[in-house]
C-alpha cells in the first residue's frame, strides 16, 4: 500500500499544478457572478491517482474542465509539466493529446452510428498519428477488449455498458496520453461491472504510468483506487490528504458528513446534512460551510470559542502540497495552510 502511494508522490514531479484558480460564470439577468472555483490549489504527481470529491455544485467538474482547458480562469493558472496552459487553438490541440477526458455515460460519449474501430481511430486521425490500425488494436486490448479485431465492426448498441466504457477508455488511450481525467467513470455502470473498470484504471496506471484525476461523489471508488483525496465544497478545497488519512481520520465536518452517509458505514451514525450546496453566486460569509455545518449547529464551535470566526472570518486557502490538511476553524492549523 505505502509503496504504491510512493509511486505518485507529489514531491517527485508534479504533472498538473493548479495555482489559486478562480473560475467565474456570469449570472443571468441581474444575478450576481457565480464563483464556481474560488481559489483552488492542487498538484497531481506523475502516476498518481487523485479523486476529487464533493456534492453537485461544489466545483469538482469545473475544476476538471479547467484542467482540460475547457474553462478559462478569471485568475490563477493551470500548469502542465511546469508550463502554463496556452489557450490558443494549436496549443490546446497539442495539450489535449496528452491529457484526455473520459465521461460518465459511455452511451452518450459514443456516436451510435460509428463502429468501435471508427470511435477509437478518430483521435489518432485528428492528430494525424501514424499507424492508425496498430494504435486502435493496441488501445482496445489495453482497455480489455480482446481480441480487438472481433469488435472492430460492432456498433455501440451491440455492446454491454461495461464494454462501451472500455471502448471510451480505449479512445483516450489511442493517443498515448500522460493524464486521463475521468468524470464519474463508473457511476452509470452495473455494480458487478464497476469493479472491473476500476481494476482496469489501476492496471493502466501500473503499466503505462498514467496519471489519473477522477471526479466522483463515490467515496468507495476513492477507497478502491485513489492515492489521494481532495474534498471540495462550494468552489474551495476543504480537505486534502492521502485516501487513508482523509477516510480513516476525516477532519472537516463536511468530510465527516459525506463519509457518514455511505451506506456501508453502519458503525457511524449518519449525519444527514439539511439542504443542498448553496448557490455559488451567494457564498456565505466566514466559513462557507457554516450554515450547514453540524459542528456549528450542535454548539461544538461555540464551546470551542470559535463560532464568531465561523460566521465572519474568512478561512485561509489550502495550499497545493503539505500532507493532510483541512480548512476549518475547529482544526488546529498544524500543517500551516498558506495564508491568502
Partner 1 sequence: MSDVAALELRDVHVTYRTREGPVPAVRGVDLSVFAGEVVGVAGESGCGKSTIVSTILRLFPASATVTGEVLLDGENVLTMRWGRMRAVRWGVASVVFQGALHSLNPIQRIGTQLVEPIFLHDKLATDNSAATKVRTLLEQVGLPARHADAYPHQLSGGQKQRVMIALALACDPQVLICDEPTTALDVMVQAQILELLIGIARERSMAMLLISHDLSVLGTSCDRVAVMYAGRIIEHGPARAVFDWPEHPYTRALSSAFPTIGDAASRYAPSGLPGDPPFPGDLPSGCPFHPRCPSALPVCPTVDVKLLPAGPGRTAACVLVDQSVPTR
CB 104 within 8 A of CB 183: yes
Stretch that binds partner 1, among 21-29, 170-178, 207-215, 264-272 (CB under 8 A): 264-272
The answer to the question of residue 273 lying near partner 1 (CB under 8 A) is: yes
Residues in the chain: 340
Does position 247 bind partner 1 by CB under 8 A?
yes
Peptide bond into 141 cis (omega under 30): no
30 makes contact with partner 1 (CB under 8 A): no
Q: Quickly count: other Cβ atoms within 10 Å of residue 234's Cβ.
A: 24
Q: Does 282 bind partner 1 (CB under 8 A)?
A: no
| Angle (deg, nearest 10), helices 116-126 and 161-173 | 20
105 binds partner 1 (CB under 8 A): no
C-beta closer to partner 1: residue 89 or 274: 274
- 20-28, 128-136, 155-163, 312-320 -> range binding partner 1 (CB under 8 A): 155-163
Give the nearer residue to partner 1 in terms of CB position, either 109 or 245.
Answer: 245
| Residue 303 binding partner 1, by CB under 8 A | no
Asked if 248 touches partner 1 (CB under 8 A), the answer is yes
Cα dihedral 77, 13, 43, 324 in deg (nearest 10): -150
Q: In this structure, are residues 71 and 85 in contact, taking their beta carbons and an 8 Å threshold?
A: no
| Interstrand relation of 228-233 and 34-45 (parallel, antiparallel or unpaired) | unpaired
Among 37, 68, 101, 198, binds partner 1 (CB under 8 A): 198
- Classify 191 in phi/psi space as left (phi over 0), alpha (psi -120 to 50) or beta: alpha
Indicate which single residue of 146, 276, 304, 308 sits in contact with partner 1 (rule: CB under 8 A): 276
Phi and psi torsions of 80, nearest 5°:
-115, 120
Give contact residues for partner 1 (rule: CB under 8 A): 1, 4, 55-56, 160-163, 190-199, 202, 217-220, 223-225, 243-244, 247-248, 257-259, 261-266, 270, 272-274, 276
Amino acid at each position: 500500500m505505502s509503496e504504491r502511494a510512493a509511486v505518485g508522490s507529489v514531491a517527485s514531479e508534479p504533472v498538473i499544478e493548479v495555482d489559486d484558480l478562480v473560475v467565474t460564470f456570469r449570472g443571468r439577468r441581474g444575478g450576481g457572478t457565480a464563483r464556481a472555483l474560488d481559489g483552488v490549489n492542487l498538484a497531481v504527481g506523475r502516476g498518481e491517482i487523485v479523486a476529487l470529491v464533493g456534492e453537485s455544485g461544489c466545483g469538482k467538474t469545473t475544476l476538471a474542465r479547467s484542467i482540460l482547458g475547457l474553462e478559462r480562469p478569471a485568475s490563477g493558472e493551470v500548469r502542465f509539466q511546469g508550463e502554463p496552459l496556452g489557450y490558443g487553438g494549436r496549443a490546446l490541440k497539442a495539450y489535449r493529446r496528452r491529457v484526455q477526458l473520459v465521461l460518465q455515460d459511455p452511451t452518450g460519449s459514443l456516436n451510435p452510428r460509428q463502429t468501435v474501430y471508427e470511435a477509437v481511430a478518430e483521435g489518432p486521425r485528428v492528430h494525424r498519428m501514424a499507424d492508425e490500425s496498430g494504435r486502435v488494436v493496441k488501445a482496445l486490448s489495453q482497455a480489455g477488449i480482446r481480441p480487438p479485431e472481433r469488435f472492430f465492426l460492432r456498433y455501440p448498441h451491440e455492446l454491454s455498458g461495461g464494454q462501451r466504457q472500455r471502448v471510451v477508455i480505449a479512445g483516450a488511450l489511442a493517443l498515448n496520453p500522460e493524464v486521463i481525467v475521468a468524470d464519474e467513470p463508473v457511476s452509470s455502470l452495473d455494480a458487478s461491472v464497476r469493479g472491473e473498470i476500476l481494476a482496469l484504471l489501476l492496471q493502466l496506471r501500473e503499466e503505462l504510468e498514467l496519471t489519473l484525476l477522477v471526479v466522483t461523489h463515490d467515496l468507495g471508488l476513492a477507497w478502491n483506487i485513489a492515492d489521494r483525496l481532495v474534498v471540495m465544497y462550494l468552489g474551495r478545497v476543504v480537505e486534502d490528504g492521502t485516501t487513508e488519512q482523509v477516510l480513516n481520520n476525516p477532519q472537516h465536518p463536511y468530510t465527516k458528513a459525506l463519509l457518514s452517509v455511505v451506506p456501508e458505514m453502519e458503525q457511524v451514525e449518519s449525519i444527514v446534512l439539511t439542504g443542498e450546496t448553496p448557490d455559488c453566486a451567494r457564498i456565505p460569509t466566514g466559513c462557507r460551510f457554516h450554515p450547514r455545518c453540524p459542528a456549528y449547529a450542535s454548539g461544538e464551535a461555540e464551546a470551542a470559542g470559535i463560532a464568531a470566526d465561523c460566521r465572519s472570518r474568512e478561512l485561509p486557502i489550502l495550499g497545493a502540497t503539505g500532507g493532510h490538511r483541512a480548512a476549518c476553524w475547529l482544526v488546529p492549523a498544524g500543517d500551516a495552510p498558506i495564508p491568502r
